[in-house]
Chain A
């Protein structure tokens, strides 16, 4: 059974030009114990999906979905209290901008200790509990690869480097021992060795603790080496999803293919000095969304039917939304 299952998630944002569908019938399903990658260009709405899952949307955003369940329980029907309990214990989120996600007026140590669930600290006097919190916090800080725990814990957010902040946010997320970790671009801007360290940590947690991970990012090489499945997002629409091996070998959606081709290190068969394959044009802004398949204007396979939004079709556990998919006979 899927841990997190989202079907036809639509998120509308109230802008100066009226309500705009920033997410249009997006689908996402994370199974227990898997690492799922969520990829897409900048501005495709990855962070919005993360926001939608974590809840508490501002009033200028409106969310509708056919299904949005956590372990079979309908997230949309829950009251704030039940939803909060799930976020407290089961789902942890690492937001894209780690330093902005930390309270600037409180030391990092205090913020981490505050996030330790009360179930973990046992009974006792408050100073005993405090000591226990501190112990858990230091252990975690070491786990994510920060050596100088004393320095970092007593620092304020503006005093630390951004890669330390990224690691620290991962520690904050892991403190509740969640079932699902949602990491929005957790390795952005990190240097290679640090990045490898973080990815290894994710992989290890996934294998030893059966932690499910929704890994949001651009780095296809890292993603293909660690993820089990992948969901490709384009302009608020999920265009293709399935096991990563299959998507790599036989992408069905033109966008997935273009995305994979645009990562040169990703292709072993690349002849020397061949030009980089990229899609023409850029991702449309939310104010100028094409109707139907949003890839339309940039797609070389597009035909008249593409002004209608393609339905989701599936081959085994490989989903795609395209009228004229690649590698199939009916095109």
Chain B
């Protein structure tokens, strides 16, 4: 088991290295001076000091300097605001992860039961309606869905707010970057009211992001339940006189879920992409929103850092889910290769 964890760690480190190399080459590919692109500092002297290299440093020693700076969180400064990029990312990445997490949670909470119900009684009307609904859900483009939600629930019905994470007048101080944690930590505010307000802000973005993941999940769970319930061990369990509920809970559900986790690992990329799209529509102060601003303002150091951070987050999440799925599935041989 330790061996497998080490292999995944190896995979993680190598992939992150590749991402850093890529972000380094962006410094050369973007228009403008390499040193400015890598640090965000206008003058070459300051940039060299920031990177701790001499002006005659070659490509390779420049990379080493950039690499060690990246590791310690010296990601340069924004060429527009002059703020350190690391702390800016630290401010907006939690918002993205938070939205992604709730969207995934909603997709799982709704998707798993729907998938199970559909898969247990295939070809019945319940199955057909769930399957139909998931097909429709799957075919909505996420930005269009978000705009429809805004149109209906925010503009016409005026039920839910259309931008931000919480009413700004509430003055919730940022500590962790995760809104509910921050509300809990804050003093001098009406926590109940802030909580409800944050939930209202969360509702539409979460729903828009989770719809596609939910649809994917429903179809995958249905398929897998269908397959598992036909397996000889389910038939054998039936002939031992176990009740349908016992069979499903003890043997069906677990085996149906095992192939789902790797699918979820693949879904993380789609999920984060969708989160970033939805963020800019709802002015959700996350990475997507932030990156878009950086692109508008041609803030190349910020674009470089943003890509680095998002790619890093996706890789870490994917590998975590992969490791989890490996840990819960006893039938995957211990000496299998690792891959994501």
Contact = CB atoms under 8 A, between A and B. Distances in A.
Interface stretch (A21-29, A52-60, A248-256, A322-330): A52-60
A87 B240 contact: yes
A74 interface: no
A228 interface: no
A87 B241 contact: yes
Interface stretch (B34-42, B147-155, B228-236): B228-236
A301 B297 CA distance: 95
Interface stretch (A103-111, A198-206, A239-247, A305-313): A103-111
A101 B236 contact: yes
B335 to A, nearest CB: 13
A85 B240 CA distance: 9
A272 B233 CA distance: 47
Contacts of A158: 331, 333
A172 B251 CA distance: 16
B241 to A, nearest CB: 2
B55 interface: no
B240 A88 contact: yes
B240 A115 contact: yes
A93 B250 contact: no
A10 B254 CA distance: 36
B241 A88 contact: yes
Interface string A92-118: 110101001111111000000011000
A77 B241 CA distance: 18
B243 A84 contact: yes
Interface residues of B, number: 22
Interface in B102-159: none
Interface string B242-278: 1100000011001100100000000000000000000
A84 B233 CA distance: 16
B331 A54 contact: no
Contacts of B258: 105
A58 B330 CA distance: 29
B223 to A, nearest CB: 17
B243 A93 contact: no
Contacts, number: 72
Given A58-B230, A95-B236, A100-B231, A105 B241 contact: no
A97 B240 contact: no
A327 to B, nearest CB: 39
B239 interface: yes
A242 B171 CA distance: 90
Contact of A101 (B230, B232, B255, B330): B232
Contact of B255 (A84, A91, A104): A104
B239 to A, nearest CB: 4
Contacts of B242: 88, 114-115
B233 A102 contact: yes
Given A103-B255, A105-B258, A56 B238 contact: yes
Contacts of B238: 54-56, 84, 87
A176 interface: yes
A158 B232 CA distance: 15
B239 A106 contact: no
A89 interface: yes
B340 interface: no
A97 B255 contact: no
Interface string A70-94: 0000000000000011111101110
Contacts of B250: 103, 106, 114
Which of A88, A91, A105, A172 gathers the greatest number of chain B CB atoms within 10 Å?
A: A105
A56 B229 CA distance: 12
B90 interface: no
Given A104-B255, A105-B254, A105-B255, A56 B331 contact: no
B333 to A, nearest CB: 8
B227 interface: no
Given A103-B251, A105-B255, A106-B251, A93 B236 contact: yes
Nearest to B240: A115
Interface string B277-296: 00000000000000000000
B237 interface: yes
A296 B237 CA distance: 39
Interface string A170-202: 001000100000000000000000000000000
Contacts of A115: 240, 242
A84 B236 contact: no
10 closest Cβ contacts across the A-B interface?
Answer: A88-B241, A101-B236, A54-B239, A100-B232, A87-B241, A104-B331, A103-B251, A56-B238, A93-B239, A103-B233
19 contacts: A51-B235, A54-B238, A55-B238, A56-B235, A56-B238, A84-B238, A88-B242, A89-B241, A91-B239, A92-B240, A93-B236, A100-B233, A101-B232, A101-B233, A102-B233, A102-B236, A105-B330, A106-B250, A115-B242
Interface of B: 230-233, 235-243, 250-251, 254-255, 258, 329-331, 333
Given A88-B241, A100-B233, 17 more contacts: A51-B235, A55-B239, A56-B235, A86-B241, A87-B239, A93-B239, A100-B231, A100-B232, A102-B233, A103-B233, A105-B254, A105-B255, A105-B258, A114-B242, A115-B242, A158-B333, A176-B241
